[in-house]
Structure 1
Amino acid sequence: MDKLNQVLLKPAIQVGADLFAWMQQGGTQGLATALDAPQTLIQRIADADLRGMGGAGFPTARKWEAAAQAAGSEKYVVCNGNEDEPGTFKDRTLLSRTPHQVIEGALIAALAIRACHVIFYLNPHQQGSLREMRRAVAQWQDSPWLEKVAKAVGQPVDLQVVPSSGRYIGGEETAVVASLEGGFPFPRKKPPFPAESGVRGCPTLINNTETLAKVSHIIRHGADWYRALGVGAASGTKLYSLSGDVMAPGLYELPMGTSLHDLIYRYGGGMLEGKAFKAVFTGGPSNTLLTRKDLDVALDFDSVRERQSRLGTGAMIVISEGSSIIRKVAEYIGFFAKGSCGQCPSCKCGTFQLARLLERVDSGRHSPADLAALRHLCQILPGSGRCGLIDGAVTVVQSSLHTFPQEYGIAATAD
């Protein structure tokens, strides 16, 4: 097996939640470099081509730039650790096993935008993450580093660990803002974006846990080093949550741009004995399914998008021949129906109806009218919600209808 490019996971084996051990492994060197030239940080992140690892792959430096340029002396940096989507388990590993690189990255982000509040917004169902992050934050509060950051920012900097609502929708960035303000995590329409007006109306930078975990390494080693870790035009490494019908499911840190074939067959040990590959839910259960013809795809944001899907969080849920795609899709749509905040009737009612129809199809009790209703809902629901929940639900249903029509009893059509 090839040697893995472990930047984020390797320290987890040796460090845990001990700040001194983190420093012995080179921790805080990135922060020290950042303190010497905070005005260069956004450009360094841009040069590294760091993308948001929470799903969308949006350029991190552009978010930082927007928050840095926003008016206001009181700004927030929020680490979004609400991770709750099926098949995704990367953030909880970083938060519980190597929290200091996340904290250091968040402090560097605070330097870049001159923020005085740093909040770690964590899923309360992940008790290990909460416990270790609280321990780690307490160590930083007792260290001289926080005072150095405060001096550079020009005002005291506070660190907080705040449990989220524990709801799936609570990870959407405007819902994060609503939750931190003490309200129900209802998503809000954008604009304004949180970087302009977030928590209590202040500019708020919200980054995923994995995104912030990479920051200290980039500042310490340089943008060229980070870019060279990727394959082809892709930069850096990615955490891939591999699950489903494979011999060795788990969390793999690999070069961004590793092929889907290599992830499954080289690192994941291949399919379960006697099983053949059928499909993969890519980036979690809300994207277009990839099939055998896509095994060559490079797992980076741009290459996966070219296959009409999304890399998302890097979750890869592998399904074997003989498994029902409709059954899996029905499970995931049921999850979305329960996770809907109920603010948008089209989402709450639409996901419920999709789940109900899929259950009928899966049980063989459906009629042609049910299939027609399923297709009609997929046409009218997209774009009807304040967040992307309903769009993601429709995407995976449409993908299953198009890619596996025979499972629905529909004749395949030529592309």
Structure 2
Amino acid sequence: MEKLNQVLLRDDVRVGADLEAWLAIGGGEGLAKALCDPGAVIGEIEQADLRGMGGAGFATHRKWAPVAAAADGDKTIICNGNEDEPGTFKDRFLLEHTPHQVIEGALIAAAATRANHIVLYVNPHQQQAIAVIRQAVGQWQAHPRYAELERLLGAPLSLGVVPSSGLYIGGEETAVIASVEGGFPFPRRKPPFPSQQGVHGAPSIVNNVETLAHIPGILRHGAQWYRDLGIGNATGTKLYSLSGDVLRPGLYELPMGTSLESLVFEHGGGMLQGKEFKAVFTGGPSNTLLTKRDLDVALDFDSVRLRRSRLGTGAMIVVSEGTSIVRKVAEFVSFFAQGSCGQCPPCKGGSFQLMRLLNRIDTGRGVHADLAALENLCRILPGSGRCGLIDGAVTVVESSLHQFREEYEALLMA
């Protein structure tokens, strides 16, 4: 694995639930700075241009600022480790191997926003991650800096692990809040946003595991250090979950802005023997496809968006020539159809109809009317749900039709 510019995955930070080992390599210094000057933290995060690593790429400081400005009282920081999308496996690695980095990031967020609750929301299927993070929580609660943070807040600080529902939809931020409150993870429409009305109506922040893991380094070394880690206009590093038809699938931390070609052919070792690169599903299956002509794209939020795609979580699912795009899309849309919570009829029914049409076409039973119906659903379904599930399903279908329409047409009955 490439060691240049690594921040989250360096060998020496993989200390597991050993707080003393984390502190021995400089861990805790970011929190110490935040405790000395909590009012400066959000400005430092803004200067670093840290964005949300859970998929949307939303500026982190813009989530934090409204909560910091809210009147003192109950406020909650949620570390979102639900991670249940195919092809994405970065957060569970961080929780298992460097949990103190993640927890310190959450403690810094609490200091900056005067939040008195921290919830580590973890997929229950990741039992090892839950065991490690619970052990790490106990060590922080016994550390003097934890008491120092409570004195800053002027109130007891609750820090605990809450297993998620284990459902894909349970990772959407309003569904996370509903689950933390003890209910079923039904998403709700926004506004109000969590920063206005979150857990039990109080201001709340939902940040991805990877996002929070970056915070201690930024506070310790400064915003400019973090900016300089990226390539071009991109800042920091990114975890890329590389899978599919490559020789060395795995988790790679690389400078934000690393090219797709470098990720696949240099770090990933290139394609499996006898295979040729065809395409990659970017950011997991809820996003879009990039093809051979996009191998030069810089893997950062803005550059990928210019190619009509999205970086998302950083998951890269590589497919080779000879692999049916229609079949892959049918598999992914089936995942979404099964993951719909059923709260919104257009999402539940629409995802099922997308799945049904795709399966008909994939198995050679489709006709031109089925393709027309598929395209019509892509026009009318977006925005019909309370969350982005149906939009994600439509996005991958639309992108595959744009890039590989001939494959669909070749499967239709005369």
Distance apart, 1:2 and its partner CA: 6.0
* Structure 1 residue 70, shift from structure 2 partner: 2.4
Separation in 1, partners of 2:169, 2:340: 7
Alpha-carbon displacement from aligned partner over 1:162-202 (angstroms, at most 9, x marks no partner): 00100000000000111111111000010000011100000
Distance 1:143 1:48, change over 3 A: same
CA distance in 2: counterparts of 1:266 and 1:344, whole angstroms: 44
| Distance of 2:12 and 2:371 partners within structure 1 | 48
In the TM superposition, what are the counterparts of 1:23-42 in structure 2 within 5 Å? Answer: 23-42=23-42
Structure 1 match to 2:408 = 408
User: Residues of 2 paired with 1:2 and 1:201: CA distance?
Assistant: 44
- 1:121-140 alignment runs, 5 A limit: 121-140=121-140
Q: How far apart are 1:401 and its partner, in Å? A: 1.1
Corresponding residue of 1:345: 345
Query: Does 1:240 find its partner at 2:231?
Result: no
- Asked if 2 retains the 8 angstrom alpha-carbon contact of 1:285 and 1:396, the reply is yes
SS class of match (1:287): coil
Equivalence for 1:255: 255
Task: Spell out structure 1 runs of 4+ moving beyond 2 A.
Answer: 1-4, 11-14
Cα deviation for residue 385 of structure 1 reads 0.5
Matching residue's letter, 2:196: E
2:221 and 2:11 map into 1 onto residues whose CA distance is: 15
SS of the equivalent of 2:88 reads coil
Count of residue pairs brought into register by the alignment: 411
Question: Could you tell me how far 1:17 is from its partner in structure 2?
Answer: 1.1
Per-residue Cα deviation, 1:127-149 (whole angstroms, up to 9, x for no partner): 11101000100111111121011
CA shift, 1:12, in A, is 6.3
Q: Secondary structure at the match of 1:361?
A: helix
Range moving further from structure 2, 70-79 or 207-216: 70-79
Distance 1:77 1:406, change over 3 A: same
Cα separation, 1, equivalents of 2:60 and 2:267: 28
User: Which of 361-370 and 49-58 deviates more?
Assistant: 361-370
Three-state SS of the structure 1 residue aligned to 2:191 is: coil
Deviations 1:344-377 (A, max 9, x none): 0000011111111111111101112211111111
Residue 383 of structure 1 deviates from its aligned partner by 0.8
Secondary structure of 2:252's counterpart equals: strand
In structure 2, the residue matched to 1:21 is 21
Letter in structure 2 aligned against 1:29 = E
SS in structure 2 opposite 1:217? helix
Query: 2:330 matched to 1:330?
Result: yes
Other-structure match for 2:141:
141
Write the deviation string for residues 23-72 of structure 1: whole angstroms up to 9, x where unpaired: 11111011111111111000000000000000000000010101111234
Q: Which residue of 2 aligns with 1:217?
A: 217
Separation of aligned partners in 2, 1:288 and 1:71: 41
- Give the conservation status (yes or no) of the 8 Å contact 1:241–1:316: yes
The match for 2:119 is 119
**Offset from partner CA, 1:86-116 (integer Å, 9 cap, x none):** 0000000000111000000000000010000
Counterpart in 2 of 1:158? 158
Q: Return the alpha-carbon distance in structure 2 between the equivalents of residues 197 and 410 of structure 1.
A: 50
2:72 touches 2:114 (CA, 8 Å); kept in 1?
Answer: no
| Alignment partner of 1:381 is 2:387 | no
The C-alpha deviation readout for 1:228-270, integer Å capped at 9, x for no partner, is: 0000000000000000000000000000000000000010000
- Aligned position for 2:70: 70
CA distance in 1, matches of 2:260, 2:36: 40
Q: Distance in 2 between matches of 1:197 and 1:71?
A: 13
Report percent identity of matched pairs.
Answer: 68
C-alpha deviation, 1:156, in angstroms: 1.1
What is the match of residue 53 of structure 2? Answer: 53
Q: Which residue of 2 aligns with 1:287?
A: 287
Deviation at 1:4, TM superposition (A): 2.6
Structure 1: how far apart are the matches of 2:72 and 2:338?
38
For 1:37 and 1:145, how far apart are their aligned partners in 2? 14
- Aligned partners of 1:71 and 1:356: how far apart in 2? 50
| Aligned-partner SS, 2:119 | strand
1:317 paired residue number: 317
C-alpha RMSD of the superposition: 1.2
CA 1:14–1:186: 2 relative to 1, 3 Å: closer
What's 2:397 paired with? Answer: 397
Moved more, 75-84 or 148-157: 148-157
* Deviation readout 1:319-366 (Å, 9 max, x if unpaired): 000000011100100000011010000000111111111111111011
CA distance in structure 1 between the partners assigned to 2:196 and 2:14 by the alignment: 39
Q: 1:300 to 1:190 in 2, by over 3 A?
A: same
User: Would the aligned equivalents of 1:66 and 1:196 in 2 still touch at CA under 8 Å?
Assistant: yes
Contact 1:12 1:98 in 2 (8 A): no
Matched residue, 2:354: 354
Q: Is the 8 A contact 2:118 2:158 kept in 1?
A: yes
Counterpart residue identity of residue 138, structure 1: G
Q: Residues of 1 paired with 2:150 and 2:2: CA distance?
A: 43
Cα distance in 1 between the residues matched to 2:372 and 2:378: 10
Q: Tell me, which stretches of 5 or more residues in structure 1 are unaligned?
A: none
CA distance in 1, matches of 2:241, 2:351: 25
Alignment partners' CA distance in 2, 1:274 and 1:261: 18
Contact map agreement 2:337 2:355 (CA 8 A) in 1: yes
Q: Secondary structure at the match of 2:279?
A: strand
Residue 303 of structure 2 corresponds to residue 296 of structure 1:
no
What's the secondary structure of 2:110's corresponding residue?
helix
Report if aligned partners of 2:105, 2:213 keep a CA contact under 8 Å in 1: yes
CA distance in 2, matches of 1:385, 1:3: 42
Distance (whole Å) between structure 1 residues aligned to residue 337 and residue 282 of structure 2: 20
Give the partner amino acid of 2:62: R
C-alpha separation between the residues in 2 aligned to 1:270 and 1:352? 36
